[in-house]
Amino acid sequence: MTNTETIENKGIIEEMFKAGAHFGYSKSKRHPSMKPLIFGVKNTVEIINLEKTDEYLTRAKEFVASVAKEGKQILFVGSKNEAREVVKNAALSVDLPYVTNRWIGGTITNFSEIKKRIARLEELTSKREKGELGMYTKKERLMIDREIENLEKHFGGLLSMKQKPAALFVIDSEAESIAVKEADSTGIPIVSLSGSDCNIKKIDYPVPANDSSR
């Protein structure tokens, strides 16, 4: 590693420290797979080794860059209150699909059915935008509006996903365990920001850090 790289890494670690990325949970909540990544304990809270975090982050970034270079999609997932806005904005900034509400079972493992719901959302939205709902009664239009609202809530972030994603990025692999299981069962690589309570054994590219901070 060059002196320049060393300085850059120290800068990244300092920024992560300022952001509180080093805070884990209490020892009683820590998953055994995270033990090698714990630096110490402060006021009953375990401290994550940010030098290790930086190493894992570099590896994850290299993988993400390789996926992007191939023009493939990464599905962003973060349904925790503190993660929703960040995940949505990050996905939109790079025109990638996202899930920020409850994960719908089968989003990956039964994608053929999910595609039908996405197509339905596109169909109804298009008709409304074109003014083609005038042929329906007021009550019917209200029902259609409610259907669009519900579909938008659960599938709006998936409109750009025409096939299964090449990778999954999640905030808190414990909270998003169903999504992680679906990706793992179908061989889709997983990148995850994971707190000290997470099992990172089945995460291809874990980034150990505080996953509950805004």
* DSSP per residue, 34-96: GGGGEEEEETTEEEE-HHHHHHHHHHHHHHHHHHHHTT--EEEE--SHHHHHHHHHHHHHTT-
Which of the pair, 7 or 141, is modelled with greater confidence?
141
Q: Are residues 88 and 64 in the same domain?
A: yes
What is residue 94's predicted lDDT score, i.e. its pLDDT? 94
Q: Are residues 27 and 98 in the same domain?
A: yes
Q: Are residues 121 and 178 in the same domain?
A: no
- Structural domains of the chain, count: 2
Residue 155, C-beta contacts closer than 8 angstroms, at least 6 positions apart: 104, 114, 117, 118, 121
- Rounded Cα distance, 214 and 212, in Å: 7
Q: Are residues 132 and 59 in the same domain?
A: no
Q: Report how far apart, in Å, the C-alpha atoms of 178 and of each of 36, 102, 109, 173 are.
A: 25, 10, 11, 9
Position 179 pLDDT exceeds 80: yes
Select from 156, 159, 179, 162 the least CA-distant residue to 71.
Answer: 162
Q: Judge whether 50 lies within some domain.
A: yes
CA angle 75, 189, 157 (to 5 degrees): 5
- Token look-up 């997932």 returns 77
Q: Judge whether 214 lies within some domain.
A: no
Position 9 pLDDT exceeds 80: no
* Neighbouring C-beta atoms of residue 91, cutoff 10 Å: 22
Q: Are residues 62 and 88 in the same domain?
A: yes
Q: Judge whether 35 lies within some domain.
A: yes
Q: Are residues 29 and 49 in the same domain?
A: yes
Position 5 pLDDT exceeds 60: no
Indicate the pLDDT class of residue 26, thresholds 50, 70 and 90.
Answer: confident
Tens-digit pLDDT profile for residues 88-133: 999 999 999 999 999 999 999 999 999 999 999 999 999 999 998 8
What is residue 129's predicted lDDT score, i.e. its pLDDT? 92
CA dihedral sign, ordered 22, 52, 195, 26: negative
Parent domain of 186: 3-108+164-208
Q: Are residues 70 and 34 in the same domain?
A: yes
- Rounded Cα distance, 76 and 90, in Å: 8
Instruction: For helices 3-18 and 50-69, give the axis angle rounded to 10 degrees.
Output: 110
Q: Are residues 24 and 128 in the same domain?
A: no
Tens-digit pLDDT profile for residues 124-163: 999 999 998 888 999 999 999 999 999 999 999 999 999 9
Q: Judge whether 84 lies within some domain.
A: yes
Position 8 pLDDT exceeds 70: no
What is residue 20's predicted lDDT score, i.e. its pLDDT? 60
Tens-digit pLDDT profile for residues 40-82: 888 788 888 888 989 999 999 999 999 999 999 999 999 999 8
Q: Are residues 63 and 145 in the same domain?
A: no
Q: Are residues 135 and 64 in the same domain?
A: no
Which CATH number is 154's domain given?
A: 1.10.287
Tell me, yes or no, if the pTM score tops 0.95: no
